[in-house]
Amino acid sequence: MKCPKCNADLVPAVRHKINVNYCQSCKGMWLEHQDLGKLEDEVFDYGDDAKGTLAFSSTPTTAKCPECNAPLKRFKYRFYDLEMEVCENQHGYWLDEDEDTRVLQLMKKEEADETRKLLAENQWTKTLKHLRSGSFLSKVRDLFH
């Protein structure tokens, strides 16, 4: 396989416990289609539904898929400030140097936001139960009598 950016040979490597095809020249990597989810799952354990939309829209690039030679399409990863390329035939994703680390950082942030949201929802539920309890309503009524 050839690098879609600099045309150097891609070599097998392991990054963050994921097998990738790595470019020693530009430091980019090719992830098989299912491997992006595996990478995200290294730090995010709330399931795919909680991760958000992967790609809303994409634009064609001049880079070619290392597997089928179709043009790669650039997209904003989950609406963050990270752009990566995807094969329109769903062979995989091209990540530039250290973008795999950036994916992990963004998933950690997403998980922290999800945790904060769940804690806030739980606290709100407790507050509503307390407000609706008979003893609380009785105390409020007693204030006005």
Higher pLDDT pick, 69 / 138: 69
Q: How far is CA 22 from CA 7, 8, 66, 104, in A?
A: 12, 10, 11, 18
The proportion of the chain whose per-residue pLDDT surpasses 70, expressed as a percent, equals 94
Q: Which pLDDT value is given to residue 130? A: 72
Q: Where are the domains of the chain?
A: 10-143
Question: Rounded distance, CA 105 to CA 108, Å?
Answer: 5
Check whether 127 has a pLDDT greater than 90.
no
Q: Count CA atoms closer than 13 A to 76's CA, side-chain side.
A: 7
Look at residue 135 and tell me whether its pLDDT is greater than 90.
Answer: no
More confident residue, 19 or 111: 19
pLDDT score at 75: 95
What's the one-letter identity of residue 132?
Answer: R
The rounded radius of gyration (Å) of the Cα atoms in the chain is: 23
Residue 118: count other Cβ atoms within 10 Å of its Cβ.
12
Does 126 have pLDDT greater than 70? Answer: yes
> Which residues face 2 on adjacent strands?
9
* pLDDT digit string, tens, across residues 40-75: 988 887 667 767 778 878 999 999 999 999 999 999
Whole-number pLDDT of residue 136: 66
What percent of the chain is modeled with pLDDT above 90?
59
Instruction: Note the pTM of the prediction, 2 decimals.
Output: 0.77
